[in-house]
Structure 1
Amino acid sequence: MALSGEHFGALLGRTVKVTLKCGVFQGVLQHVNPDRSLLLRAVRNLETGRSTPGVKMFFGREIVNVELLDEPDSGKGTAMLSECTSAVEGNKQADTGPADCGPWSSPCVSLESQLRASNSLKYSLSGNKKEEENVEYTVVDCFQQKFGPAVLHLKQQCVVSIAGEGVNLCRHGRLSWLEIATKSRIFLFDIFLLGPQAFKNGLQMVLEDKNILKVMHDCRWISDCFFHQYGVLLFNVFDTQVADALQFSMATGGFLPHRVCTLQECLMQHLKIPSKSDAIMKCRQQMASENPDIWFLRPFPPSLLKALALKAMYLLLLHSSLMDNLMSDLTAVVHGYLNAYRTASGDHLGSTKPTCMKLPEELRQLADIQKLRREKAIKDYRMNEDGLLIRPAMELKERSDPQKDGNYGDDGDCFPNK
């Protein structure tokens, strides 16, 4: 017997602990499938302490127990989960052999890593300071030796992240640095030294290539800069600020937030990067606030070069996490499709027409889920006079005067003057 809509609505967004045959995990409940498999986000392995961004699926046949963590003193949460836990109690007896916990058969499966196993990012987000300091990048500040191989590498990619630094990044501003990261390399193009010729010699070809996905955050400003200063027309862009707003709308049943998120807020929310140890904003804000024109200082401070490289690296990982979240509903419904017939009795299949276009029950559940999410969002958020949900403020450094901070990146931290 599957969890009812009432139970699902009550547990949506709650933190649960899932005990599997070969591990214990904690995460926020995103979806419950009819076959009792669970979708969790912000998953943490309680045995190893490792956290994983994105959405993970836990198969019902591997679940031994499910506990509600955010109401430890209430028996209500345990009662709500009783159907799920009792349904999987039989797993303990049915399992006569050791569980297969190999890397390709783990019950905790990343929904996107199944598609990108061969292209996994070669970066670590463990928060270890040493690993952050050892991030590798290539500064491209001349056309000899480095520029040609860098452009050739970029042209062979399917996904890259792009960020820019400078002053007042729009048609009236000045671009100093262009950061581009791939799954294995990070390039920092010194546009201040290379000049417009950098775009004519290959960067324009990459930025306009419709077969290369460009991951950016708030592309409006740098898109205006590219077009009016360098004649570059961006194509095939995945904007993480837009994706974050879309994910918020999905999670609240169609409501929009009253404001967008900065890159730092997105990293904190989706990749769980603490603001106090965030190497990107800490370095950029501190040094840029001392000298607004530091982006044009040569030689450029190594600590800022590292910050630019980390920013491009995190953008790629943010794209992966947001894609997991955006695809979670689709994945859940498709999973229901797969089990719609094969796990049920086949007596009625002889009279079922393969070409029947009646809306399946699995798709009808989407409307119920959206309704439950809207009801929960109305309780959890305040609404402004425009009907937009007010996002709670994150712990970020207040900046009353962007001109003083000199932080003119394209990540939405502040905006150019009109």
Structure 2
Amino acid sequence: MALGCERLGALLERTVKLTLRCGVFQGVLQHVNPDRSLLLRRVKNLETGRSTPGVKMFFDHEIVNVELLEEPDSGKGTAALSECTSAVEGNKRAEAGPADCGPWTSLCDSLESQLRVSNSLKYSLSEKKEEENVKYTVVDCSQQFGPAVLHLKQQCVVSVAGEGVNLCRHGKLSWLEVATSSHIFLFDIFFLGPWAFKNGLQMVLEDKNILKVMHDCRWISDCLFHQYGVLLSNVFDTQAADVLQFSMATGGFLPHRVCTLQECLMQHLKIPSKCDAIMKCGQHVASENPDIWFLRPFPASLLKAFALKAMYLLLLHSTLMDNLMSDLTAVVHDYLNAYRTASGHHLGSTNSTCMELPEELRQLARIQKLRRENAVKDYKMNKDGLLIRPAMELKERNDPYKDGNYRDDGERFPTDKAVPQITSFHNWEIKIKKP
């Protein structure tokens, strides 16, 4: 890897600002490829103020310059942006050709990925009244049940969540929420009883060809198995995936605790504060009055909270999958260019070396080492060697998609820090203002 790549690689897991020919973006630097393309996660379009979860790739010919952003609470704003010289600009124009984004125009619309699922759900959500327009179907009779189950059987991915009292083999399941790419169904299990599982829900939940997205499936799995004979299969658990993603980002460390669903949604999706408030309000009402699970008609505000949870679980799955696959995506990209961009003089015979671990894969060890070093600086560690992950609290802010860090008194949370150095990389210039 070139020297410039190594220097920029030292900024992994830091927030950078990219000025492109088609816009200005901000995100956390995830990976630097040998061909000078960059992978960023939690990307935000600074021109529109909108964010998208997951990982985005930015190619060298698109990038005008790179800027490392300082710590959000430092009061210094962003680091000084160096202007590219006319010679550099001339080189970039020659490489890039016409001033357009080519096949990567999607990078100019950073909200597209985030709304990919929610738009297809046909919620017609407005920016300020998302929670008022979420659509769902309450299934509490056989007339509605048949079409709902038929629709579920045709899906590849659904989200599943359960509500009730003490959800385990000793508790009582009241509602089962199941969302697909076009519908949200709220099954009234208290009213339908075991009949619902015997007539289709069990088949869906046990179908190995249908991925079930859940958060902390331990409790509801115990409940469904012991009370209804349902053996859940093919489950993607977002709580477990969040821990795995944390381990990847810190070079193999584990956190001292898991995250609630709300924390995962805040961290990975930056959900609007109003939607988060509705879900938390629903939890509060139910905890204050457990008998509410057995009241019919059921409060519409709680049904709305259930529907939001099911909707965001699908988005959370998509985002976590992007994060978990980011290293593989980067390595495969390097694989594609390993030979075809080289001179080719060494390709006469590869039999003797084809089984050796290539350089494109060896870089994973260096990346993991760097991540571990950064993690030790960014987190406190408990006596068991686990990184202390602080609790996150949603704070009101004007822009619900605003990218930021959350702090907890007495504990350190990863922040985007300015590095007192100047790093040059290819034709870009990265200037970091010394504090």
Q: Fold match, TM over 0.5?
A: yes
Cα distance in structure 1, aligned partners of 2:394 and 2:109? 33
Distance apart, 1:281 and its partner CA: 2.4
Residue 302 of structure 1: aligned partner:
300
Residue 343 of structure 2: aligned partner:
345
Deviations 1:145-164 (A, max 9, x none): x1000000000000000000
Q: Retained in 2: the 8 A contact 1:164–1:175? A: yes
Deviations 1:325-373 (A, max 9, x none): 0000000000000111111212222233497111110000001111111
Letter in 2 for 1:148: G
Letter in 2 for 1:20: L
Q: Closer, same or farther in 2 for the Cα pair 1:14/1:123, shift >3 Å?
A: farther
Cα distance in structure 1, aligned partners of 2:334 and 2:351? 19
Cα distance in structure 2, aligned partners of 1:63 and 1:341? 24
Q: Retained in 1: the 8 A contact 2:174–2:188? A: yes
Residue 160 of structure 1 aligns to a residue whose secondary structure is strand
Deviations 1:234-264 (A, max 9, x none): 0000000000000000000001000000000
Deviations 1:151-206 (A, max 9, x none): 00000000000000000000000000000000111000000100111000000000
Q: Closer, same or farther in 2 for the Cα pair 1:195/1:87, shift >3 Å?
A: farther
Cα distance in structure 1, aligned partners of 2:138 and 2:100? 48
1:29 corresponds to 2:5: no
Q: Retained in 1: the 8 A contact 2:23–2:108? A: no
Residue 248 of structure 1: aligned partner:
246
Residue 362 of structure 1: aligned partner:
360
Distance apart, 1:123 and its partner CA: 6.2
Distance apart, 1:117 and its partner CA: 7.9
Q: Closer, same or farther in 2 for the Cα pair 1:305/1:320, shift >3 Å?
A: same
TM-score norm. by structure 1 comes to 0.85
Letter in 2 for 1:18: L
1:122-141 equivalences in 2 (<5 Å):
122=121, 128-141=127-140
Distance apart, 1:282 and its partner CA: 3.2
Q: Closer, same or farther in 2 for the Cα pair 1:169/1:272, shift >3 Å?
A: same
Residue 260 of structure 1: aligned partner:
258
Q: Retained in 2: the 8 A contact 1:64–1:89? A: no
Cα distance in structure 2, aligned partners of 1:324 and 1:343? 27
Cα distance in structure 2, aligned partners of 1:277 and 1:307? 8
Distance apart, 1:90 and its partner CA: 2.5
Q: Retained in 2: the 8 A contact 1:163–1:217? A: yes
Residue 191 of structure 1: aligned partner:
189
Distance apart, 1:19 and its partner CA: 1.3
Residue 389 of structure 1 aligns to a residue whose secondary structure is coil
Distance apart, 1:289 and its partner CA: 4.0
Q: Retained in 2: the 8 A contact 1:217–1:240? A: yes
Residue 68 of structure 1: aligned partner:
68
Residue 331 of structure 1: aligned partner:
329
Residue 180 of structure 2: aligned partner:
182
Cα distance in structure 1, aligned partners of 2:101 and 2:369? 38
Cα distance in structure 2, aligned partners of 1:139 and 1:126? 19
Cα distance in structure 2, aligned partners of 1:249 and 1:87? 39
Distance apart, 1:12 and its partner CA: 1.4
Residue 420 of structure 2: aligned partner:
none
Residue 212 of structure 2: aligned partner:
214
Cα distance in structure 1, aligned partners of 2:239 and 2:134? 25
1:3-402 equivalences in 2 (<5 Å):
3-9=4-10, 11-70=11-70, 90-100=91-101, 105-107=105-107, 121-122=120-121, 128-144=127-143, 146-273=144-271, 278-353=276-351, 356-395=354-393
Q: Which sits farther off after the overlay, 276-285 or 229-238? A: 276-285
Distance apart, 1:109 and its partner CA: 9.4
Letter in 2 for 1:155: K
Higher RCO (CA < 8 A, seq sep 6+):
2
Aligned CA RMSD, in angstroms, stands at 3.1
Cα distance in structure 1, aligned partners of 2:340 and 2:175? 55
Q: Which sits farther off after the overlay, 37-46 or 196-205? A: 37-46
Letter in 2 for 1:248: F
Cα distance in structure 1, aligned partners of 2:351 and 2:120? 44
Cα distance in structure 2, aligned partners of 1:216 and 1:172? 20
Cα distance in structure 2, aligned partners of 1:271 and 1:2? 34
Distance apart, 1:275 and its partner CA: 5.0
| Identity level (%) | 76
Cα distance in structure 2, aligned partners of 1:164 and 1:234? 13
Distance apart, 1:126 and its partner CA: 8.0
Q: Retained in 1: the 8 A contact 2:209–2:234? A: yes
Q: Retained in 1: the 8 A contact 2:123–2:134? A: no
TM-score norm. by structure 2 comes to 0.81
Aligned residue pairs total 387
Q: Closer, same or farther in 2 for the Cα pair 1:238/1:120, shift >3 Å?
A: farther
- Structure 1: unaligned runs, 5 residues or longer: 398-418
